[in-house]
Amino acid sequence: MKSNVVRISISLPENLLHNFDAVMKKIGYKDRSKAIQTAMIGFISENEWSNESSKGVGSIGLLYNPHSRNIEKSITLIQHNYNKIVTSTIHIHLDENNCLENIIVRGDVKSIKRLVKELSENKGIKSIKVNFVKVV
């Protein structure tokens, strides 16, 4: 089923449009409408992250030192406590002192934020990055 398409007209500073078109072409978009749709979805998702009643999907990327005391056990236990929103986990050994864990989540923003907070409180976590997309 195809959704309705609405044509709009917008006014932009010339240099903003020029920069948008340059980046759009650089990353491979051939259709300005598609690139603007993608940008708008990103804008919506980014701002819905602050709306705790929103639902969506995303990933939580953790970079951590595997030698930190009980870190892997702690990360696993926290994920088990959030089994209603954690759908999958990928663990990658990067080198002797770095592991990357990517946790795929689906659910409400409030629960995802609580999960991120609990994970970030672990010593040994070097970096945590959340990517959230509101399902539209």
Between strands 98-108 and 86-95, the pairing is: antiparallel
Strand, helix or coil for residue 80: helix
Nearest one of 74, 60, 90, 61 to 123, comparing CA atoms: 74
AA letter at 9:
S
Query: What does the pLDDT look like over 60-94, one tens digit per residue?
Result: 999 999 999 999 999 999 999 999 999 999 999 99
Check whether 136 has a pLDDT greater than 70: no
Per-residue pLDDT at 58: 92
For residue 81, the SS3 value is helix
Residue that wins the pLDDT comparison between 132 and 83: 83
- Residue 1 scores a pLDDT above 90: no
End-to-end alpha carbon distance in the chain: 15
Structure confidence by residue, pLDDT tens digits, 21-62 = 999 999 999 999 999 988 888 788 777 777 777 888 999 999
Specify the pLDDT at position 43: 83
